[in-house]
Amino acid sequence: MAVQPPPADQRIVIENVAIATVDAADTEYARGHVVILGNTIESVGDGPAPAWLDNVVRRINGEGHLLTPGLVNTHHHFYQWITRGLAQDDILFDWLVALYPTWARIDDELVHAASQGSAAALLKSGCTTASDHHYVFPRDGGDILGASIEAVQELGLRFTALRGSMDRSKKDGGLPPDHAVEELDDILAASEAAVDRYHDASFGSMLHVAIAPCSPFSVSTDLLRQSAELARRKGVRLHTHGSETAEEEQFCKELFGMGPTDYFESVGWLGEDVWMAHCVHMNDSDIAKFAETGTGVAHCPSSNARLAAGIARVPDMLKAGVPVGLGVDGTASNESGELGTELRNALLINRLHGYPTALTGRQALRLGTMGGARVLGRQNEIGSIEVGKLADLALWKIDGIMHSSIADPVAALTFGALPPLAVLFVNGNAVVEKGRLTAVNEDRIARACARAAKELASRPV
Chain residues binding Zn ion by CB under 5 A are 329
| Pick 209 or 300: Cβ nearer Zn ion | 300
Minimum CB–partner distance for residue 330 and Zn ion (Å)? 5
Q: Which of 303, 301, 295, 308 is nearest to 246 (CA)?
A: 308
Minimum CB–partner distance for residue 345 and Zn ion (Å)? 16
Radius of gyration, alpha carbons of the chain: 21
| Pick 248 or 329: Cβ nearer Zn ion | 329
| Pick 312 or 410: Cβ nearer Zn ion | 312
Sign of CA dihedral 270, 272, 275, 281: positive
Minimum CB–partner distance for residue 298 and Zn ion (Å)? 8
User: For the chain, first and last CA: distance in Å?
Assistant: 34
Q: Give the CB-nearest residue to Zn ion.
A: 329
Q: How far apart are CA 406 and CA 414, in angstroms?
A: 11
Q: How far apart are CA 225 and CA 282, in angstroms?
A: 22
| Pick 44 or 324: Cβ nearer Zn ion | 324
Minimum CB–partner distance for residue 448 and Zn ion (Å)? 23
DSSP line for 301-357:
HHHHHHTT-----HHHHHHHT--EEE----TTS-TT--SHHHHHHHHHHHHTTS-TT
| Pick 40 or 333: Cβ nearer Zn ion | 333
Minimum CB–partner distance for residue 10 and Zn ion (Å)? 39
Distances (CA, A) of 379 to 69, 123, 224, 418: 12, 20, 26, 25
Minimum CB–partner distance for residue 133 and Zn ion (Å)? 6
Minimum CB–partner distance for residue 450 and Zn ion (Å)? 24
Minimum CB–partner distance for residue 90 and Zn ion (Å)? 15
Distances (CA, A) of 433 to 124, 137, 181, 398, 436: 9, 35, 41, 15, 5
30, with CB counted inside 10 A (0-12, 13-18, 19+), is: exposed
Minimum CB–partner distance for residue 307 and Zn ion (Å)? 10
H/E element, 17: strand 11-20
Q: Which of 392, 409, 391, 390 is nearest to 400 (CA)?
A: 409
| Pick 329 or 381: Cβ nearer Zn ion | 329
Q: How far apart are CA 47 and CA 53, in angstroms?
A: 15
Buried b (16+ CB within 10 A) or exposed e, 383-401: bbbeeebbbbbbbbbbeee
| Pick 324 or 412: Cβ nearer Zn ion | 324
